[in-house]
Every structure is written in C-alpha cells, then in structure tokens.
Amino acid sequence: MKDIRLRHKSGSVVGKIQVTGSKSESNRMLLLQALFPQIELTNLSNSDDTVAMKSGLESEDALVDIGHAGTTMRFLTAYFSTIENQEKTLTGSQRMQERPIGILVDALRQLGADITYLKNEGYPPLLIKGKKLSANEVRLSADISSQYITALMLIAPRLAGGLRLHLQGMITSVPYIKMTQSLLHDIGIEASFSDQTIEISPKMDIDATTHAVESDWSSASYYFGIAALAKEADIHLSTYKENSLQGDRVLMNIYEQLGVQSSIENNTLHLQKQALHSTSIQLDLSNAPDIAQTIVVSCYGLGIACDIKGLHTLKIKETNRLVALHNELTKLGATIEITDRSLHLHKRNNPVRPNVLIETYHDHRMAMAFAPLALLVPIRIQDADVVTKSYPGFWKDLEMNGFLLG
C-alpha cells in the first residue's frame, strides 16, 4: 500500500474494535523478560516497534539494525551495555541516525559502559562492548525524553548495587516513568520515585509470573478523534483498564471538552458522541505528547481553536511533528503558529479542503491522526503503510467501521 484515498460512507460510526497491546508496555516487559526469563507475556503489541524490540533482543548477530524504532534504540543501548563479553553495533534508519542519544550514552558511561559513536558524536550508530557495570549513581537531564530514564530503570535491577538516578531540570512524560516503576513493582523489584530522585534495588532473581499487556491508549486516541468528528458515534474498544498506567489515558478528560463521553466497564472503553460546547481549548501535554497530533486535527475538524504547550519532545520524534502538523494543516486551510514547544491553532472559518494529500514524513501518527478527517471530506494519505510502526491493523479496522479506502 502506498498512497490511499479515504472517505466515510455515512459519517456515523458504530462498532467494536480489539486494539493491539501497548507498545510502551510491551517493549518494557520484553526487556525485563530478557533479564528475567521467568516472565511470561500475553497480548503483546504487534507493532513494528515491538517486533524490532523482540528481534533485537533475540539477535545473535554483531550488527543490529532497528530501522525507525526509537524506543528500541534507547532500550537496547542500555541492555547491550550490561551483557558481558558481547560486542554489538546498533544502528537504524537515516532518521534514527539524526535522533540524539547522547544523554543516555553519557549516563551509561557514568555507570562504566563502553560505548563508541561510529559516525557523529551524540547519535547512532553505536559500538557497544558489554561489560559488568560497577557504578550505581547517575545524573542526567530529564527534560528531553523519559525513555532515557526508563532505559536506565529497566537495567537497574541487574546492576550489583542497584541504581540511584538524579534527574536534572523539568521532568517530561512523568506517567511513562511511573509506568516503568509500577511494572518493576509488579515483578517484585523495589523502586522509589520522589522529587528528582529514582532509586531501584538490585535483584538477581524473581518468581515466575504472567503479565497481560493492556491495549494501547495512543492507538485509542484515533477513535476519540473519530467519535469527535462523526455525526453519531458509539464505539467499544478493548482491552483497557480503569487503573491504567498509561499517561495517554488523559484522553478521556480532554475529549470530554471535544464532545466525546467515555467510560470503562469490564475492560471495555466506550466512546459516545455528545454535544460540543467548547469554542477553544488550552492544554499542557508535557506528560502525554504522543496524542498532540490527534487532538490538534480533532480541533481543526470541529472548527475550534486550541493552544497546546509542553510539546518540546515532538521535534525529536520520527519527524519534527510540530513542523509536520503546521505543513499539513496549512494545506487543508488551517491558520496555525508553532514554536519549538507550543502550538496555536486558530478557529476554522472556512470548509476543510477536500482531496488534500497528507504527507506522513515516515511518521505513523501523522497518518492515523489525520484519518478521522475523512468523516468530513475525502482525504488522501501518503505512504499509508507507515502505520505498521504502532498499529498494523489500523486501515482494516477502519474499513470494518464504514471507512472506504481507494
């Protein structure tokens, strides 16, 4: 599949969808399973990122190429650093080689890791010579990516002295750090997170356990977008937990302002279209930046203004998502301003332009975030297969719920 033309036959959506497991949770648990084989996993994500993570962990090759999988790059950098008497070259796509990893490498070097940059300082590819890491205290900047922090937390139990992490600056994506902490607790590892310090106790062995991965909330975001823009919507998504660890659960509160009522019962997330009362919204997405694209497109489709801050991590994602959003919404007729950490979308005064080709920039979330607009006008999505990074069945699930692909 290359470019697709997307529209909806009626504008109303009623359906039930089983959403794949959270890739954030899947990737964390796969690394913990590599350290503690007593862990059994169910409902793993079928995303490209999780496939890359699993493949990288199992690979016996000296060269590991993880493609576009940013989480995998960060987690495997930490993991390979701890495997004694093993040498790995870790690389990825051209875009991956432009995504910074210096903060994590510096932190691992503080622990005693042997990591060499093979091209540009601070960026992949990396040569990693695994060894026993002797230190147990690290200081690192916490305002760039929580994945650097999580990568260190995940390897911490296998360090002889455990780990004390001192976080500097404003901590971004706190719910993702708390998710990692909770998953460590679930398998019997002591982990505390207070103020700017994380402490994790060493543990060489755990009891056998089975862990069921919750479905992905960021994947659910596209259905919140669909419910917001539909004439009528009654959508059931599974499997979701009321006490979810995923930061993107804030979707329920945010989309209440955008005319979507949501509730969870028996592990099923129920979305219903309601009357829209807002004319503008203001949000800080520091703790949930991955849902920004979906929300901005929803606001544009609804014709309301939005001001969103806390978006400083978007420029180091699969693409610079702020620039990408600006470019594609402008093509549709939007008036939008961006800075390096915020976005302002003006209220829409003109109809959405039909048949616009949405460029995806190798970014799965660009393709899926813009898809709900097909409820209003036909749109075209470039490089539609990019969705396999996080949600391979996305287009098929849309087809089963009244969307027409051509």
CATH numeric code, 23-212:
3.65.10.10
**What pLDDT, on the 0 to 100 scale, is given for residue 217?**
96
Q: Which CATH architecture has domain 4-21+216-405?
A: Alpha-beta prism (3.65)
pLDDT given for residue 1 in this prediction: 61
Burial 118-153 (b: 16+ CB within 10 A, else e): eeeeebbbbbbbbeebebbebebbbbbbbbbbbbbb
pTM for this model (two decimals): 0.84
- Give pLDDT, residue 317: 61
How far is the C-alpha of 39 from the C-alpha of 28, rounded, in Å?
12
- pLDDT given for residue 278 in this prediction: 92
CATH 3.65.10.10: which residues of the chain? 4-21+216-405, 23-212
Asked if residue 244 lies in contact with residue 225, where contact means CB atoms within 8 angstroms, the answer is: no
> How confident is the model at residue 319, as a pLDDT?
64
* pLDDT score for 318: 60
CA 180-183-189 angle, to 5 degrees, is 100
Catalytic residue, chosen from 216, 248, 290, 397, is 290
Identify the pLDDT of residue 379. Answer: 98
What are the respective helix, strand and coil percentages of the chain, to the nearest 5? 40, 25, 35
Cα–Cα–Cα angle for 327, 386, 380, nearest 5°? 55
DSSP, res 372:
G
Give the pLDDT confidence score for residue 316 in this predicted structure: 58
Our answer to whether residue 290 is catalytic in this structure is yes
Q: Compute and round to an integer the Cα radius of gyration of the chain.
A: 21
Low-confidence ranges of the chain (pLDDT < 70): 1, 315-319
Look at residue 2 in the predicted model and tell me its pLDDT: 85
Which tokens belong to 72? 């995998």
